[in-house]
Structure 1
Amino acid sequence: MSVLQQQTTGAWVRQQRKAPRRRKTILTASLSLLVFALLAVNIVLGSYTVTIPDFLAMLGGKTIPGASFIVMENKFPQAVLGLLVGASFGVAGAIFQSMLRNPLASPDIIGISYGASATAVAAVVIFGVRGAGVSVAAIVGALAVAMLITALARGRGGSGLILIGIGAAAFMQSAVTFLLSRADINNAQEIMVWLTGSLNSATWERVAILAVALLLVLPFAAAGSRELHGLALGDDTASGLGFNVPRARLLLTIVGVLLAAFPTAAAGPIAFVAFLSGPIAKRLNGGAASMPLSALVGAAIVLAANFVGVNAIPGVSLPVGVVTGALGAPFLLWLLISSNRANQGG
């Protein structure tokens, strides 16, 4: 091979390596702009509309009668909470789906979100817990269920864990139904709204708590991204590449559970956000999983669903979980049908 041919071949190889990075950069920028646009739409448009100059003036400290309270204490914190919740669910889903190599392995499918819900409801109905105590109960429940299904599925692989998780989710859902039947009417109504998944109770305090929690946990997710890519190749391959598979699984499981539990505690178990974000981001990224892209997709889903829920039906504000559930259920059915066809050879 001549020197010219070697140089041409080397240039082609470098170009091929740069192409995925360029694609991901463009995709990240595009999704970031989409999320920013949806954030702005949720704040300034809808049932109560303000102009951008008025919003900027309120950000600068100006008080506009009526508008300041509705926008700064209602719509703005709802939008920011939706962004944080969606991003957190998106990363949690991407972690479990990549680690277990199955798109069904999201926290809301394998029982982790239901574990958080069941313990939170039990804390309210049985012990009369309120406020931060409910959030703590949700986090503890999510961790407990995750550790339980991991222990029960040991040696059974990812498919075994998913099946055990689905069984655990069904059990937890039954427990929630029983607890609701024992609750008084006021508690039951409040719990049902929370279980649906809603941003209506958003406050700046909740936003700050969730933001701090994510700032503490997300660095561990970033640190575990290399191990996650290794586990996505399979346990045997990951071991052959020098990864400590049990330690990596434990670390990523804890991080994924926390990233699912924190937004659940803040806004309830918003259905299918974790389930949808990873596969959509993966498809957009040419088949490569990405936690940052999953976070952006999750944030976009929640913000878009919140705007639709608030404004789709005049005079009626649907919880964001109703809209995401309507989006996610058909996707789940399509995934199950397509997987079944693939297993049958067509």
Structure 2
Amino acid sequence: MTVQSINPTAVVRGARRIPRRRRVLVAGGLGAALFGLFALRVLAGDYIITLPDFFRILGGEEIPGATFILMESKLPRAVLGVLAGLAFGVAGAIFQSTLRNPLASPDMLGISLGASASAVFAIVVLSLNGSALSVAGIVGAVLTAVVIRLVAGSDGGYRLVLVGVTAAAGLVAVIQYLFTRANEYDAQLALRWMTGSLNSASWPTIRILFVALVILLPLVAWTVKSQRVLELGPDVATALGVTHRYADLLLLLAVLLCALAVAATGPVAFVAFVAGPIARVLNGGRTTILGAALVGAVVMVGADYVAAYGFPDTNLPVGVVTGAFGAPFLLWLLASGRAGRR
């Protein structure tokens, strides 16, 4: 009886082929789910648009009633939901993998609250609105991230998370103080913006966010190899030639993605937080930026459909639905021990 020799190269290739095949299947499944939800959000609802009418309207034909509803409400909300979901998902996955903590996300570290505090200040004190309000949100998110990074130092990790949580608590106090100074109209406007909504989706906003994603996402793809090394820990990463500057670059890209999405939709709760863990579970415990991006888009579009049609005679902001979904998910993550021993 002869023993066949084992080819180590074939074994390694086979081991690599299995997770690669799973990533492709997960990405394909999530893409199909996103396509189905997108079609449901655009074609179904209170006003049903048939598929032939959809393509006729896109071709430039004017159909009374249907053209306005599709081009000014249904389609822009769905497109903005996809783009913002992609941005939130990628940002959350970068934070969690780079800091090696599933609780690290723009929601938890105060980045979104920094945008909210800046926007509320712009509304209450400066009486700004429109695009100026979006710029204020971006500036607030970026400044908050810079301050947190400077205070946390170069250690990163759990120190950065703790500083971020502390900053978030302080920003909540700032927002509450600003609300005490606001009149009724400004308070309603600020509260509506802070909840996160796709109700004000417009094509100019979509174009800006689309161009930003076209610029930023290739940069994320270019640095993703460094991200995988950073997940091994700072000592191993330094030994392999990946310094903390790569981590800073990744976090900067994540902050910009989150800030731009918040500027377009408001701080939609928990999308950035849940996208990464869900994608990792689907991918067998491995981090996948593409999977997190698709999960974020699926959550945004699906939550917006539920917010619009899931409750009779009520059109909720999408942030209410994602918050209701994300809070139990956070409790489950903590209870199951997936947040780590610390």
Q: TM-score, normalised by structure 1?
A: 0.94
CA distance in 2, matches of 1:220, 1:174: 35
Segments of 5+ residues of structure 2 without an aligned counterpart are: none
User: Which residue in 2 is equivalent to 1:263?
Assistant: 261
Q: Deviations over 1:88-122 (max 9, x none)?
A: 00000000000000011000011000001111111
Deviation of 1:338 (Å): 2.8
CA distance in 2, matches of 1:59, 1:187: 37
User: Which residue in 2 is equivalent to 1:335?
Assistant: 333
1:39 aligns with 2:38: yes
CA distance in 2, matches of 1:75, 1:176: 32
Tell me whether 288-297 or 329-338 shows the greater mean CA deviation.
329-338
CA distance in 2, matches of 1:173, 1:320: 21
Q: Tell me the amino acid that sits aligned with residue 154 of structure 1.
A: G
Q: Tell me the amino acid that sits aligned with residue 212 of structure 2.
A: A
Deviation of 1:337 (Å): 2.5
User: Which residue in 2 is equivalent to 1:6?
Assistant: 6
Query: Given the alignment, which residue of 276, 285, 292 partners 1:278?
Result: 276
Q: Tell me the amino acid that sits aligned with residue 27 of structure 1.
A: V
1:25 aligns with 2:24: yes
Q: Percent identity?
A: 49
User: Which residue in 1 is equivalent to 2:50?
Assistant: 51
Q: Tell me the amino acid that sits aligned with residue 39 of structure 2.
A: A
Deviation of 1:200 (Å): 0.3
Q: How many residues are matched?
A: 341
User: Which residue in 2 is equivalent to 1:171?
Assistant: 170
What's the secondary structure of 1:108's corresponding residue? Answer: coil
- Check 1:340–1:198 CA distance in 2 against 1; reply closer, same or farther (3 A cut): closer
CA distance in 2, matches of 1:297, 1:222: 17
CA distance in 1, matches of 2:52, 2:303: 26
User: Which residue in 2 is equivalent to 1:322?
Assistant: 320
CA distance in 1, matches of 2:127, 2:142: 22
CA distance in 1, matches of 2:54, 2:145: 43
User: Which residue in 2 is equivalent to 1:61?
Assistant: 60
Segments of 5+ residues of structure 1 without an aligned counterpart are: none
Q: Tell me the amino acid that sits aligned with residue 325 of structure 1.
A: G
Q: Tell me the amino acid that sits aligned with residue 61 of structure 1.
A: G
Deviation of 1:246 (Å): 2.3
Q: TM-score, normalised by structure 2?
A: 0.95
CA distance in 1, matches of 2:262, 2:128: 16
Tell me whether 45-54 or 294-303 shows the greater mean CA deviation.
45-54
Task: Tell whether the 8 Å contact from 2:148 to 2:167 is kept in structure 1 after alignment.
Answer: yes
Deviation of 1:336 (Å): 2.1
Aligned CA RMSD, in angstroms, stands at: 1.8
Q: Tell me the amino acid that sits aligned with residue 113 of structure 2.
A: Y
- Check 1:119–1:28 CA distance in 2 against 1; reply closer, same or farther (3 A cut): same
What's the secondary structure of 2:6's corresponding residue? Answer: helix
